[in-house]
Structure 1
Amino acid sequence: SDGIYVLDTKNYRVQKWLKNGINATIVAGITGTPGGTSSNTTFSTSYGLFIDQFGSIYVSDQGNCRILRFPPNSVSGTIGDWIAGTGVSGYGWQGFASPTGIFVDSNQAVYVADTSNHRIQKYNFGACYGMTVAGTGYAGNSLNQLQNPTSVVVDSDGCLYISDQNNHRILRWAPEACAGECIAGCSMTPGTRPDQLNHPSDIAFDSQGSLYVSDTWNNRVQKFAILNGTGAYKILESST
C-alpha cells in the first residue's frame, strides 16, 4: 500500500495517511456524521476495516449491521455499495449482530466476524446470502464454538484464524472443518503470562508467517510463531 488506512471510529470516517505525508485524506464517511441505513455515504460506529488487492475499502458498519464497500478512488462523501447485512440485528443467512472484523480474500470473498452471533460468515463475491464457516451461532468454548469473535484472517491455504475474544484464545479453522484447533491462549483462562491472552481483539500476519495479537485487556501486543498447529510464544510489546 502507498499509505496507512485508519478507521476513525468515533469520527465516523476512514482516513488515509501517506508514508511521507503530514495530513490525512478522508476516503470514506463524513467527519462527525454518523449514518443510518438510509445512506450508503455514511456509517455508524464501526470497528472493522479492510483494503483489498484492488484498493477497494470495506467497512464493517457495526451500528447498522451491514458491510459497505467503497471504490479505490473514494473520498469523503462517496457513495458506497451495501454488500452484506440487512441493516438490523438478526441471524439467518443475511443477518449480522454486531459485525466487527472483516477480511477479503483473493477471490473477493468477504469474511465477517459476526460477533454477537458467535460465528464467522462468508459471502462469496456477488452473493446475496452468507454461509457460516466457523462457529455454531451459539456461544460456547468447545472447539466447534466461538464466543464473541472479533477478528478473522484467512491464509493462502484457506485456513481461518479467529480471535475468539471471550474465550481468550486464537483458533485456526481449516477449510470445510467442523471444528477449529487452538493455537494460542489454549487454557482459555485470562492472564498475563506469555502463553495467556485477555480479550484478544485483533490479529494479523507478517510476511514471515508470524502472528500478531492485540491482547486488549493486557495492554500489549503478542507475537506468536505458528509451528505445526501450536503457538511458540514471544511477547513483542508489553506494558504493565
Structure 2
Amino acid sequence: MDKHGFLYVCNREFHEVRRWKMGEYNNEGIVVAGGNGQGDQLNQLKNPTFIFVDEDQSVYVSDQINRRVMKWRKDAKEGTIVAEGNRQGENLNQLSEFTGVIVDDLGQIYVADFENDRIMRLCEGKEEGEIVAGGNRRGDRPFELNGPTDLSFDDEGNLYVVDFRNQRIQKFETTL
C-alpha cells in the first residue's frame, strides 16, 4: 500500500500488478505493471512475486522466472530492468531465485536471494551488487540465513529479513 491509499497486488496467474484505491469497490483496478501476457519483453512479466512501491508511485517488481527486477514508473506502458540475475549463480553479478525486493531512500535496491541465502544491495546501472546480510553459508547462526524470502526497513534503517527455512525474522543493522 502506498501513502496515497492505493493497494497493489501481484497476480502471478496473469503476470501483472494491479492497483486499487482503498474504499472504491466493484472495480477491477488498473494494471500498473505487466498485463501483456507472460514473457520477457519490457511490457511483460513472468511470475511476478514481490513488489515495492516508492514515494513517486514507481513499482519495483521481482520478476522471478525472468530473474530480474523491473521498475515501472507511474503510468508507464513498459518497465525498465534495474537488476538482473544474469545466469543463475552465486557471484556478485548473479542471483538465484530471488524473491523479496525493497528500495531505500537513496534508490539502492535490496533483494532477498533465496537459494544463495543472502541479501544483496544493487544499484541501478552497476554490474555487481554487494552482500549486506547472510551469504556466509546456509545456517541458523545470527549472521547466517537459510532461504530469505522478504525484507523491510524500520525508521532507523535496520533491515528485517524473513528467514524462511529457519522460521524466524532476522534483524540486521545497516547504514543507509
Which TM class, normalised by the smaller chain length?
Answer: over 0.9
Cα displacement (A) at 1:196? 1.1
Q: Aligned match of 2:118 in 169, 186, 203?
A: 169
| Structure 2 CA distance for aligned equivalents of residues 184 and 143 of structure 1 | 13
Asked if 1:203 is matched to 2:142, the reply is no
Match of 2:173 in 1: 225
User: Which residue of structure 1 lines up, in the alignment, with residue 88 of structure 2?
Assistant: 139
Question: Counterparts of 1:184 and 1:166 in 2: how far apart (Å)?
Answer: 14
2:6 is aligned with 1:82: no
| CA positional deviation for 1:227 | 4.3
Which one of the candidate residues 141, 149, 168 is aligned to 1:193? 141
Say if 1:131 and 1:137 are closer, same or farther in 2 by CA, change over 3 A. farther
Letter in 2 for 1:52: D
Could you tell me how far 1:174 is from its partner in structure 2? 2.3
Aligned: 1:107 with 2:29: no
Corresponding letter in the other structure for 2:125: E
Deviation at 1:69, TM superposition (A): 0.6
Whether the aligned pair in 1 keeps the contact of 2:51 and 2:62 (CA below 8 Å) is: yes
Instruction: Answer 1 or 2: which has greater helix percent.
Output: 1
The structure whose Rg is larger is 1
| CA drift at 1:54 | 0.2
**Residues in 2 aligned to 1:96 and 1:163: alpha-carbon distance in whole angstroms:** 19
User: Counterpart of 2:10 in 1: which secondary structure?
Assistant: strand
Alignment pair present for 1:64 and 2:14: yes
Structure 1 Cα separation of the partners of residues 133 and 111 of structure 2: 10
1:52 aligns with 2:2: yes
In structure 2, relative to structure 1, the CA distance for the partners of 1:136 and 1:223 (3 Å cut) is: closer
In the TM superposition, what whole-angstrom CA distance separates every residue of 1:9-62 from its partner, at most 9, and x where no partner exists?
xxxxxxxxxxxxxxxxxxxxxxxxxxxxxxxxxxxxxxxxxx011010100111
Aligned residues: 176
Once superposed, what is the RMSD of the aligned Cα atoms? 1.6
Matching residue's letter, 1:180: G
Identity of aligned residues (%): 38
